[in-house]
Amino acid sequence: MIIRPRRLRKTQKIRDLVRETDLKVNDLIMPIFIDETLNNDEKKPISSMPNQYRFGIDAAVKECEEIADLGVPAVILFGIPKEKDEIASSGYDDNGGVQEVIRKVKEKLNDDLIIIADVCMCEYTIHGHCGIISKDGEVLNDETLPILAKIALSYAKAGVDIVAPSDMMDGRVYEIRKVLEENNYKNVSIMSYSAKYASAFYGPFRDAADSTPQFGDRKAYQMDIANSREALREIELDIEEGADLLLVKPALPYLDIIRLARDNYNIPVGGYCVSGEYSMIEAAAEKGWLDRKKTVFETLLSIKRAGAEFIITYWAKEVAEWLSKN
Ligand code: PBG
């Protein structure tokens, strides 16, 4: 035998030398749930997501500081409002929980932590859909756009670095870009959830963010789980509309889409390792069926290997702790 690939697997040093992909703390973004119904310094466990919490305003600020101290470069904020209505008005309230946390964290940490804010209506609407609803229950595209733009503008005013529209309405990146430019927030970036699938893996999040649709599902706006060419079309449109970064979501069941995005476009691509991906591994580990730490590393590394530059993951904080001890 002349060729023996095993020679390069002989020792840890040689394996490290030829390793193609790395998971670094710089790759990670930590999601934070801000719950306006909690006391300022309260944090409340999320039952469907072990070791994850909803935070009151000050507790969220403290959490952001801890995350920054660990070297995690970014957080993505989600809001759970005191009051919901048909038009998500708490979402664009300049004194809302997310806005408050953005202001406070920026004041303390300035550029030491990138703040991303998820832009969507579903956490703020009574019906739990990501847009305005017509009389017959249709999620109206064009009527939703100005509201998304208002939410994004309100986050920009508070000092956000990046807005991340996750609603999947057509034309929303352009509407948001336009409003940001008109109001002189030229340097606020848009991270578009370009390829967001109508996935069953969001189940635990909807518990966490209290955003389960009260009727129907999201299939008329989120993408069909069977499609990949459609993802390329969505990405192309978002780039034309002014997206700076893009996301594929969920990550693990859609690694092929991450690879397609990476190979076909030149803007940074991220994978969102969603709540269901998190909780299924947590549950199996709790039962002793999987080695938790190894499975988490393998999962996140696979997302990098597929071509993602960055990963939104509920393990970000813990992985940063693990990496710092290595
Ligand atoms: C809001 C939004 C959702 C997630 C991120 N932004 C829920 C949904 O679309 O139902 C899911 C994140 C996760 O599951 O971790 N539209």
Q: What is the pLDDT of residues 160-179, one digit of tens each?
A: 999 999 999 999 999 999 99
* Every domain of the chain and the residues it spans: 25-249
Beta strands at 43-45 and 53-55: parallel, antiparallel or unpaired: antiparallel
Q: Locate tokens 């670094």: which residue?
A: 24
The pLDDT tens digits for 114-165 are 999 999 999 999 999 999 999 999 999 999 999 999 999 999 999 999 999 9
The topology under which CATH files domain 25-249 is: TIM Barrel (3.20.20)
The pLDDT tens digits for 15-31 are 999 999 999 999 999 99
Residue 223, pLDDT score = 96
The answer to whether 297 touches 21, Cβ cutoff 8 Å, is no
For the cut 90, the answer to whether the pLDDT of residue 207 exceeds it is: no
Task: Using a cut of 0.95, tell me whether the model's pTM lies above it.
Answer: yes
The amino acid at residue 13 is K
Query: In the structure encoding, which two tokens stand for residue 223, read together?
Result: 């993408």
Residues 6 or more apart whose CB falls under 8 angstroms from that of 262 comprise: 269, 306, 307, 308
The amino acid at residue 80 is I
DSSP symbol at 85: B
Cα of 89 vs centre of ligand 1, distance in Å, is: 19
Can you say how many angstroms the Cα of residue 212 is from the centroid of all Cα atoms in its chain? Answer: 17
Query: In the structure encoding, which two tokens stand for residue 17, read together?
Result: 């030398």
Residue 210, pLDDT score = 87
Over residues 245-255, the mean pLDDT reads 98
**Least confident stretch, 13-22, 25-34, 47-56, 203-212:** 203-212
For 55, how many CA atoms within 13 A lie in the half-sphere containing its CB? 20
Q: Could you confirm whether 186 is annotated as catalytic? A: no
The pLDDT tens digits for 267-305 are 999 999 999 999 999 999 999 999 999 999 999 999 999
Cα of 201 vs centre of ligand 1, distance in Å, is: 9
Residue 182: Cβ-neighbour burial (10 angstroms; 0-12, 13-18, 19+) = exposed
Which residue in the list 196, 219, 293, 294 is annotated as catalytic?
Answer: 196
Beta strands at 139-140 and 132-133: parallel, antiparallel or unpaired: antiparallel
For the cut 90, the answer to whether the pLDDT of residue 326 exceeds it is: no
Q: How far apart (Å, rounded) are the C-alpha atoms in residues 114 and 187?
A: 13
Over residues 175-187, the mean pLDDT reads 98
Pocket test for ligand 1, best of 211, 214, 219 (most atoms within 8 A of CB): 211
The set of protein residues with a Cβ atom below 6 angstroms from ligand 1 is: 118, 120, 122, 130, 166, 202, 205-206, 211, 274-275
Residue 32: band (very low, low, confident or very high) from pLDDT cuts 50, 70, 90: very high
292-305 and 316-325 helices, crossing angle to 10° = 100
| ipTM of predicted assembly, 2 dp | 0.96
Query: pLDDT over 70 for what percent of the chain?
Result: 100
> Which atom of ligand 1 is nearest the CA belonging to 78?
6
Can you say how many angstroms the Cα of residue 128 is from the centroid of all Cα atoms in its chain? Answer: 18
Over residues 103-124, the mean pLDDT reads 97
Q: Could you confirm whether 106 is annotated as catalytic? A: no
Backbone phi, psi, residue 63, to 5°: -60, -40
Write the residue with the smallest CA distance to atom 10 of ligand 1. Answer: 202
Q: How far is CA 304 from CA 9, 110, 186, 222, in A?
A: 21, 28, 30, 24
Compute the Cα dihedral for 159, 164, 166, 168 and give only its sign. Answer: positive
172-182 and 141-158 helices, crossing angle to 10° = 40
Q: Locate tokens 């889409």: which residue?
A: 257
